[in-house]
Amino acid sequence: MKKWIAIICAGLLLLAGCGTNSKKDDGKEAELPAIIEADLTLPEKANPGEEVPLAVTVKQGEEFVEDAKEVKFEIWKEGEKDSSKLVEAKHEEKGKYVATYSFPENGLYHVQSHVTARDMHTMPTKQIQIGQVEEDHHEEHGEGTEGDHHHHGDVSIHLQTPDTIKANEQIALAVHLQKENEPLVKANVRLEIFQKGSNPDWVNMTEGTNGEYKTDYAFKASGDYIVRVHVENDEGLHEHTEVEVSVQ
């Protein structure tokens, strides 16, 4: 009898040990996915009315992203951002998404590719000169445009949320920032959270390590929300992107 009791106890201890190891394994932090990178290409100059090729190649690490959820080009003339046009891009091959656009008149234009893929969003921007541009206008905006491209063009913004979100349940939200393939630190990151037709909640995020910013938040009701991520820093960076989130 004593022999059987000893065997049973040994078996229980073994099971307990296995359970502990399982918890340790489950407790390991999941590695964050590689940031989505988008390489925007377009000519430096073109003529009014000419069909201009626009292309953006999307990669995640060494992998070409061929399943992007959405790729669009936003186009506006210098100083007329509120009148921007959106052009849908189509996947061609090896993560390359393309479109064409005819610029209507002379001027300096901005082309920004909005890439949403694998729960991430990135939006590099470049400038194109169409036709003849007045010299003083070009000089006036040349430095600022170059600054915009330097500060904004290579910023990747990744909003990380749980797979399932329930109303009135506190959840962890994280934003991962990269600039020129390096973590973007010392930024001021805020979330603007709202449903269409409602007033937004503004939520400040706390900086962690390696370009990660965190906060906790509870969505007040079920439905579809817009989460707009605002990123600023002391070097003049002022960028934002938005992601749709469904709440049960």
CATH of the domain at 239: 2.60.40.10
Strand runs (DSSP E) across the chain, as ranges?
Answer: 36-41, 45-46, 51-60, 63-64, 70-77, 85-88, 90-93, 96-102, 107-117, 120-122, 125-130, 155-160, 171-179, 182-183, 188-194, 201-204, 206-207, 212-217, 223-232, 238-247
> Are residues 164 and 112 located together in one domain of the fold?
no
Q: Tell me, yes or no, whether 84 and 62 share the same domain.
A: yes
- SS3 state at 119: coil
Q: What is the pLDDT of residue 148?
A: 32
56 within a domain of the structure (yes/no): yes
Instruction: Kindly state whether residues 75 and 147 are assigned to the same domain.
Output: yes
- 161 and 140 housed in the same domain: no
Please enumerate in sequence order all residues whose Cβ is within 8 A of that of 157, keeping only pairs 6 or more positions apart, or say none: 120, 121, 122, 123, 175, 176, 177, 229, 231, 239, 241
Clarify whether residues 88 and 40 are in a common domain: yes
Q: Residue 143 has which token pair?
A: 């430095």
Range of the domain at 58: 36-153
Domain boundary among 132, 153, 174: 153
Q: Count other C-beta atoms under 10 Å from residue 119's C-beta.
A: 14
Q: How many domains does the chain have?
A: 2
Instruction: Average pLDDT across each block of 10 residues of the chain; the chain has 248 residues. List them in order.
Output: 53 51 47 76 92 94 92 90 90 95 93 85 84 60 35 69 89 88 89 88 91 92 90 86 86
Together in a domain, 52 and 113: yes
Give the pLDDT score at 1. 55
Within this chain, do residues 57 and 123 fall inside the same structural domain, yes or no? yes
pLDDT at 7: 52
Does residue 72 sit in the same domain as residue 104? yes
Give me 8's structure tokens: 């049973």
- 83 part of a folded domain: yes
Per-residue pLDDT, 168: 93
- Same domain? For 142 and 104 the reply is yes
User: Domain for residue 60, yes or no?
Assistant: yes
Same-domain pairing of 140 and 165: no
Residue 145 confidence (pLDDT): 33
pLDDT at 135: 56
17 occurs within a structural domain: no
